[in-house]
A = this chain, B = another copy of it.
Amino acid sequence: MTEVVLKQPHTPRITVKDLARQLGMSVSTVSRAFYEDAVIAPKTRARILARAAELGYQPNPLARGLITKSSRIVGIVVSDITNPFYPEVLTRLTGKLQALDLNVMLVVTDPKRSEDETLRVLLSYHPDVVIILATTLSSASSDACRKVGTPVVFFNRYDASQRSYAVTCDNELGGRTVADHLIDLGHRRLAYVAGLPNASTNVDRWKGFHARCLERGVQAPLSSVGQEFSYAAGYAAAHGFLSSDEPPTALFCANDILAIGAMDAARRDFGLSIPDRLSVVGFDDIAMASWPSHDLTTVGQPMELMVERTVDLTLSLSRNDASQPALQRIPGKLVERSTTRAIDGRQ
């Protein structure tokens, strides 16, 4: 006898009503059982919760949101994800948020679709908070959120208007740290392998690096023309620098992937041994950076802390008890590995 598959949209799920009827109580009583601070007899609550667990009932947050005006949805906007740093942030963030019973609705900004369009769909779900993980996103988007009253948290990026919340690594300080490190090692001809030109991470790392060089009385570093945060871009930029008559002796790359690309170019196409002939520093400290074949000196982003702060902030905002918009900058720290060393006579 063959089993007939019913084309049933969704098996009807159990609701408050069902529960109420089964227990011989009113729906409101049942509803109260799911609120910590509702007035309800402990025994009644216990009975309800027991039966609910048994039946696998859970209040529908969508219906609940309609009335409470809180969807418990957190929107996360992501753009390119070629940098492994971001997937990791995304999953950690998601994991921590869901432990707080906040659910993540993910949208990716597709270059083909307009950013506003993308945000519009997200906002139609009325998320309590929107987190922007995208390396670059026009402030128009954050305006869109503000317009409907949805708070925005920028992660490793900030809005020029300073009217949103932001949690970032102290990228400028990171740039300065690298400048100090390389200058301390005796390097004088420095160059910066740039990432996405309008990403604040890129801009700030450069700013700090450049400023610190000048402060230390070192010739201003060169900079490549920013492309993207990719292996290929790093490869190409290194090519540019190393083809010159007086190539730099050290490269600071806007992130680890760029650095790996740059190192490959240096080694393969210029036969330069690293760190003997060229020092290279990255940014992020992704897992790959510590692989023996790279063993890259880099600025470690305080990811765990950044994620925690973002989650805290998101929670406060979802409860509507956050402080004024503010930018939190968390310092990273230099992880010295084997791609940097003191300049010596052989150069």
Contact = CB atoms under 8 A, between A and B. Distances in A.
A268 B287 contact: no
Contact of A264 (B10, B94, B106, B293): B293
B121 A103 contact: yes
A94 B66 contact: no
A241 interface: no
A346 interface: no
Interface residues of A, number: 70
> Which of A8, A9, A101, A288 counts the most chain B CB atoms within 10 A?
A9
B69 A66 contact: no
A346 B292 CA distance: 28
Nearest to A269: B292
Given A58-B124, A98-B108, A126-B60, A291 B147 contact: no
A245 B235 CA distance: 40
This chain: copies in complex? 2
A101 B78 contact: no
B118 A107 contact: no
B94 A108 contact: yes
Contacts of A110: 95, 98-99
Contact of A65 (B56, B62, B288): B62
A332 to B, nearest CB: 21
A339 B92 CA distance: 34
Interface string A189-230: 000000000000000000000000000000000000000000
A90 B113 CA distance: 17
B58 A9 contact: no
A292 B268 contact: yes
B69 A10 contact: yes
A11 interface: yes
Contact of A91 (B8, B66, B81, B104): B81
A110 B96 CA distance: 9
A98 B103 contact: no
A149 interface: yes
Interface string A103-132: 111111010010000101111111000000
A106 B94 contact: yes
Interface of A: 5, 7-11, 13, 56, 58-63, 65-66, 69-71, 73, 76, 78, 81-82, 84, 86-88, 90-91, 94-95, 98-99, 101, 103-108, 110, 113, 118, 120-126, 147-150, 231, 235, 260-261, 264, 267-268, 287-288, 291-293, 320-321, 324
